[in-house]
Amino acid sequence: MSIAKRLYLLMILSALTMVGVSMLGLYQTRQVFNAANYANINTVPSLDDIDKISVSFGSIRSKMWQYFITDDAQLRSEFKEFINKTDIVVKDTLVHYEKENISDDKDRDLMKAVEQKYAAFSEVRIKAIALADENKPLEARDYVLQHQSVVDQLVKALNEHAAYNRQVGLEYSAAATKTEQQATWASLVAALFGLAVMLFIGIRLTHRIVDSMRYAVEVAGNVAKGDLTAKIEVTSDDEVGQVLGALRDMNANLLSIVSQVRSSTDNISSASGEIATGNMDLSSRTEAQASSLEETASSMEELTSTVKQNADNARHANQLAVKASQRAAEGGDVVNAVVTTMNEINTSAHKIEDIISVIDGIAF
């Protein structure tokens, strides 16, 4: 994997870590909000319905006692109408609670208990009002007092139900606090974990890049110093690995070129040795030729001296011949002898000329 891809991967991982931490934070915030808002969406409405039932129940009881002690038909009619309307409010509130505000099975059971106790109270109420309508207010009052336990059970059921809802509200409030703490720690741990992962990957990536670059610089330095014997190892296919591969190829090419140069140098050295040996032989032969030439020159000098001496002898002989010719007249025998001598001298002269020609040919 190339360095650029690794950097892109690190950036993507960083972005994903940030997104993950943000999503976790949003989820935990939602959990805290739901727990904290439970009081608003359930506990408060539940307590409000229970309080409405309790108030309506108290109003019904109050109007019942007023109904028992009055003889005014108009007031009784108004009290009865109020009691009936309030009874409808209580029943509607019970239905609303069961439909909208039930939080768990226990809450439902407590609501059922309130309904049962209110139904029992309604029976007592209807019976007492019927006695009052028969002009038996004292009996109606006594009947209600005899069934005070029904009233007490309803009040107890309402109080228990209200207490349970307050408890549930407190539990959700505590859960909200706990969730907020958990969310804080979870977000912190997730952020630290993401940061640790990014740091780990970043440090490893940095070390790998730096180590690879240092190795590449070291290899390039060795090549620059002329050390072509080092083995260059390519362990990756990233940009640094490509540089090392290029350096390895360059090192191999340089090593091949140096080997060729060394081979050519060895051949040149061998040829130079042969040339030096030939020069030495030529020098020896030249010295020998020079010595021979010196000997030849010396012989030529001797021969030249001899030739000059013979030439002088020839000139002297010629002079003698002239003198002999002059004296030929003095006698025939002397002339014949001189002629013979001249012929011999002439023959010798021709031989000397031939020798001089040979010497001139050798000298020049």
Residues 270 and 194 in one domain: no
- Indicate if the alpha-carbon torsion angle 251, 252, 253, 255 is positive or negative: positive
Cα distances (angstroms) measured from residue 261 to each of 55, 265, 268: 114, 6, 10
* Domain of residue 315, residue span: 240-363
For residue 229, being part of any structural domain is answered with no
The pLDDT score that the predictor gives to residue 237 is 72
Dihedral angle, C-alpha 59, 63, 66, 72, nearest 10 °: 150
For residue 64, being part of any structural domain is answered with yes
Percent of the chain with pLDDT over 70: 75
Domain boundary (172, 193, 211) is at 211
For residue 193, being part of any structural domain is answered with yes
Residues 199 and 287 in one domain: no
Number of domains in the chain: 2
Between 116 and 271, residue with greater pLDDT: 116
For residue 225, being part of any structural domain is answered with no
- Indicate if the alpha-carbon torsion angle 53, 43, 98, 160 is positive or negative: negative
The pLDDT score that the predictor gives to residue 31 is 62
Give the mean pLDDT of 233-255. 72
Weakest-pLDDT range from 86-90, 193-197, 295-299: 295-299
The per-residue pLDDT for range 294-350, each reduced to its tens digit, is 776 676 677 667 657 765 765 775 676 567 567 656 666 755 776 677 677 778 767
pTM > 0.75: no
Show the CA angle centred on residue 333, arms to residues 327 and 337, nearest 5°: 80
Residues 206 and 268 in one domain: no
Residue 38's pLDDT band, with cuts at 50, 70 and 90, is low
For residue 317, being part of any structural domain is answered with yes
For residue 235, being part of any structural domain is answered with no
For residue 320, being part of any structural domain is answered with yes
For residue 220, being part of any structural domain is answered with no
Asked if pLDDT for residue 220 goes beyond 80, the answer is: no
